[in-house]
Structure 1
Amino acid sequence: MAKEKFDVYEHVTSEIIAQIEAGTPPWRKPWTGDRSAACLPLRFNGEEYRGINVLMLWATAAMQGYASARWMTYRQAGELGGQVRKGEKSACVVKYGTIDREGDNGEEKRIPYCRAYRVFNADQIDGLDEAFYLRPQPPRDLGTTADPELDAFFTRTGATIESTSDPRAYYDIQGDRIHMPPVATFHDAQGFYGTLAHEACHWTGATKRLDRFTRFSDRKAYAFEELVAEIGACMLGVRIGVAPQFDQSAAYVEGWLKALKDDKRAIFRAASEAQKAADFIMQRAAREAAPQANEREAIAA
């Protein structure tokens, strides 16, 4: 009997659906009371994983209680002087690439592929350098007052951010502005900046930025956009030290499940778009920070 072909998209999406149905979407798990802190998963050489691999490794770390940010193959662990402990189970990640093949007309053409491979967390491995076991710092507890550093960060993105007594947080597409309730109305400042990160990810979707709303505009687009914003807020929050807030409504969960069950590649696209949104915000903030730093140095001189 022929061996059934492994479907990467089906495997990943099935795991994500199982997490949501259990009430623990993987992009929420890094901040829900286990010993591991929020951190971006890293390869053995310190490079960051991206897109869908971030979600998959977050999910595994949350379920297993891993605290280390480092992941590697069995062979890489051995090359680094480590040994995966007997009985440890690996996690699934995927690699995208292209291969060159000769077409029917004799011309070379590039064929895209998606391949799964297995990795282990450093917490599953003995004998590695001590640096691999260092625990990341948890997100900061900001208390109940505004944080000037985070205010400055979001200001540097160039987003128009307004605050009124209206008890709603949203991104206004027509007005191209983010509305936030006053920070004093939140239970804590973490909630304020986590919510702001979510709305800022929505803000990146405008035509003059990442043009996501135009590219994803069918009847499933709303649920998809919420996935992008929630995952993107997590990716952004890890970088700036803020745990994002999540809408727990049944309608959102139902929308996510329908989107994922209808299209096994939806979560891959959502993770990819979320990565672009988080990168865009970080790049805008960094670009605006450089001239300000130069100006301060000139004044000091």
Structure 2
Amino acid sequence: MAQRHVARSNPERINLYQQITDRIIADLEAGRVPWVQPWGTANAGIGMPHNAVSSRRYSGINVLTLWHAVVSRGFSNHAFLTFRQAAALGGSVRRGERGVGIIYTRRFVPSSERRRADTEGTATSGGIPFLKHFTVFSVDQCDDLPEHICLPPPPIPDGLILPHAEELIAATGADFRIGGPSAYYSPGHDYVAVPRPDDFHEPINWHRTAFHELGHWTGHATRLGRDQIGSFGSKDYGREELVAEMAGAFICAALGIVPSVRHADYIGSWLQIIREDNRAILRAASAASKAADYILACRDTASTGLDVAGEDEVDGFELEGRLAA
């Protein structure tokens, strides 16, 4: 029975990976970078897609999927919810509306494994990973929702973005050095270096660069532990750059800063990586979300003094390496 189930589910999982990968490749080949959406043509302001009920940010590849929907379908904000959540709020999804498919992973621990762990007094194994697909709708596609659910968040007042960015950088506790001719992260010495803000043609680009490099900073062995040994021009180097690019874009969006492509010349290497492995973009987006969440949590911890680890909900996406194997 189990073998027949695997035979049925694996092709479905591979097809889902391929659908997502094909869309990302089409965007890149057309010169559109999916994590840097053309917000000037969007009805919604800058922001991160989130669940309208829990307010929790979606993560990983779901960020790119929902951003694409916001821009291409003209939604007015970044709030989404399921059909059941809309009904629980006393509202409804309008007849004929088409939802947006997002994905998440979970791990199933067989009852025999749980009994063994209870008997032996040991922890259960990691369990069996499985991928699920479900549909969410923009609040724009619903009727009779509570007013506070439908209203987009107020715009960030002028003059607050740069101070907020500076506060976030300070809250990370990173060894963050300003000055010099170039921007980089040194894994061996664990510090970030960026030029002075007045060395940039547009000061906002200083912040985009800073958060890109802080994206690399999260990969240190004492933090998220990503592989950062790739030499310049290698595939490993390209994968890490892809993670940092998306992480920087996610952080900028969360702060209300329009993201940009800091390294447009890397698009060719990204395309090569994504074409060769239809799960590469999912892994990179998942790692980027973890990096962005790590940095943004520093701000939240500094303001509350509490550990703000996210709740275990099903409206995000994580792709473990062993799941993708």
Mapped pair 1:267 → 2:276:
no
Is 2:158 the counterpart of 1:150? no
Matched-pair contact (CA < 8 Å) for 1:38–1:136: no
Contact 1:198 1:244 in 2 (8 A): no
Residues 71 and 119, structure 1, Cα contact 8 Å, conserved in 2: yes
Q: Which moved more, 1:219-228 or 1:172-181?
A: 172-181
> Secondary structure of 1:45's match?
coil
> How many Å apart are 1:183 and its aligned residue?
0.9
Contact 2:212 2:245 in 1 (8 A): yes
Per-residue displacement from partner, 1:136-169 (whole Å, max 9, x unpaired)? 34466559xx944432331231222223351x32
CA contact (8 A) 1:165 1:182 kept: yes
Structure 2 unaligned runs (5+)? 1-7, 117-123, 306-325
Determine the structure 2 residue equivalent to 1:74.
83
- Residues 1:159 and 1:114: Cα distance change in structure 2 (over 3 Å): same
1:194 to 197, 208, 212: 208
Cα distance in 2 for partners of 1:245, 1:140 equals: 21
Normalising by structure 2, what TM-score? 0.76
Aligned runs of 1:15-54 on 2, under 5 Å? 15-29=23-37, 31-46=39-54, 47-54=56-63
Q: 1:228 pairs with 215, 236, 243, which one?
A: 243
Higher deviation after alignment, 124-133 or 82-91: 82-91
Looking at structure 2, the residues matched to 282 and 38 of structure 1 have their Cα atoms a distance apart, in angstroms, of 16
- 2:148 is aligned with 1:131: yes
CA deviations on 1:71-116 (whole Å, 9 max, x unpaired) are: 1233433333333334322211012112344789x97973211111
Q: CA separation of 1:234/1:30 partners in 2, compared to 1, >3 Å: closer, same or farther?
A: farther
User: How has the CA–CA distance of structure 1 residues 195 and 116 changed in structure 2, closer, same or farther, with 3 Å as cutoff?
Assistant: same
Alignment: residue pair count: 285
Shift of 1:118: 1.6
Deviation at 1:215, TM superposition (A): 8.5
RMSD over aligned CA atoms reads 3.2
Contact map agreement 1:8 1:115 (CA 8 A) in 2:
no
1:296 matched residue in structure 2: none
> Residue 112 of structure 1: which of 113, 129, 135 is its match?
129
Secondary structure (helix, strand or coil) at the match of 2:42 reads coil
Q: Distance in 2 between matches of 1:65 and 1:216?
A: 40
Determine the C-alpha separation between the residues in 2 that align with 1:210 and 1:239. 20
SS in structure 2 opposite 1:116?
Answer: strand
Picking from 180, 184, 187, the partner of 1:173 is 187
Q: Does 1:276 align with 2:290?
A: yes
SS of match in other structure, 1:213: coil
TM-score, L = length of structure 1: 0.81
Cα 1:245–1:171 change in 2 (3 A) is farther
Aligned-pair CA distance for 1:178: 1.8
Distance 1:216 1:75 in 2: 45
Aligned-pair identity (%) = 33
Partner Cα distance (2:40, 2:188) in 1:
35
Distance 1:23 1:82, change over 3 A: farther
* Structure 1 residues 114 and 216: alpha-carbon distance in aligned structure 2, compared to 1, 3 A threshold: farther
Distance (whole Å) between structure 1 residues aligned to residue 289 and residue 229 of structure 2: 16
Q: Distance in 1 between matches of 2:267 and 2:65?
A: 18
Quote the Cα distance in structure 1 between the aligned partners of 2:267 and 2:244. 14
Say whether 1:62 aligns with 2:74: no
Paired AA for residue 34 in structure 2:
P
Label 1:49 to 1:216 Cα distance change in 2 as closer, same or farther (>3 A): farther
Q: Which secondary structure state, in structure 1, belongs to the residue aligned with residue 153 of structure 2? A: coil
Larger RCO of the pair (alpha carbons < 8 Å, separation 6+): 2
Aligned partner (choices 249, 257, 270) of residue 271 of structure 2: 257
